[in-house]
């Protein structure tokens, strides 16, 4: 206390104030200051520690949790949408391959029908051609037979004019040989 008193003495100023110590070092009020400091500081401490700070930290924690939960939810929804996208793509691919299959089948069927029809028509044509050719060759053979007869008759007439009596067999043989040579 003597040090404080000394400080108070030296800190005091002015002629009339010498007896009054510097207020900050005036021990008169120390007890009061300490008592009320304890009252208000402890009061503030308990009010803050008991009510204010837990409430503040609670709010901060709640907000952090809420943000984390919202982020999780967003991630979950994002995954969901990605999966839905994948499913959609899968379905699209399936539909596309199915469509291709159907188109292929239809084309194959058409091609097969075309082939059978073509072969049928071809066969028909070939048959018709054959009969026609048969008729033609028969007609030609007939015609050739007539030609031979005519040639034999002509040859007989010519040999008769020349006064040569040629047998029918010889004439026929000669005409055949000549025709063969021409053919």
* Measured distance CA(174)–CA(181) in Å, rounded: 11
Between 14 and 163, name the residue whose CB sits nearer to another protein: 14
Three-class SS state of 99: helix
Say how many CA atoms lie within 13 Å of 50 toward its Cβ: 6
CB of 54 to another protein, least distance (A): 9
The per-residue b/e assignment along 22-36, b for 16 or more CB within 10 angstroms, e otherwise, is eeebbeeeeeeeeee
Q: Is 37 in the site for another protein (CB under 8 A)?
A: yes
Q: Is 75 in the site for another protein (CB under 8 A)?
A: no
Query: Which residue from 5, 10, 18, 60 is in contact with another protein, where contact means CB under 8 A?
Result: 60
Which residues from 1-30 bind another protein, rule CB under 8 A?
13-14, 17, 22-26, 28-30
Between 25 and 151, name the residue whose CB sits nearer to another protein: 25
* Measured distance CA(178)–CA(147) in Å, rounded: 12
Three-class SS state of 10: helix
Query: Which residue from 43, 107, 124, 129 is in contact with another protein, where contact means CB under 8 A?
Result: 43
The residue ranges that bind another protein (CB under 8 A) are 13-14, 17, 22-26, 28-37, 40-41, 43-45, 47-49, 51-53, 55-60, 62-63, 66
């Amino acid at each position: 206390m003597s040090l404080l008193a000394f400080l108070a003495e030296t800190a005091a100023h002015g002629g009339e104030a010498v007896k009054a110590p510097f207020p900050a070092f005036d021990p008169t009020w120390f007890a009061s200051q300490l008592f009320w400091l304890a009252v208000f500081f402890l009061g503030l401490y308990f009010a803050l520690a008991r009510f204010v700070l837990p409430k503040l930290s609670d709010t901060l924690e709640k907000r952090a949790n809420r943000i984390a939960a919202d982020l999780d939810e967003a991630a979950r929804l994002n995954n969901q949408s990605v999966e839905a996208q994948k499913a959609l793509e899968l379905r699209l691919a399936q539909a596309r391959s199915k469509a291709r299959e159907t188109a292929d089948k239809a084309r194959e069927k058409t091609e097969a029908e075309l082939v059978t029809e073509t072969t049928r028509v071809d066969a028909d044509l070939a048959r018709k051609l054959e009969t026609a050719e048969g008729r033609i060759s028969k007609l030609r053979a007939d015609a050739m037979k007539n030609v031979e007869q005519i040639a034999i008759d002509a040859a007989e007439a010519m040999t008769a004019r020349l006064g040569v009596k040629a047998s029918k067999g010889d004439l026929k043989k000669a005409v055949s040989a000549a025709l063969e040579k021409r053919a």
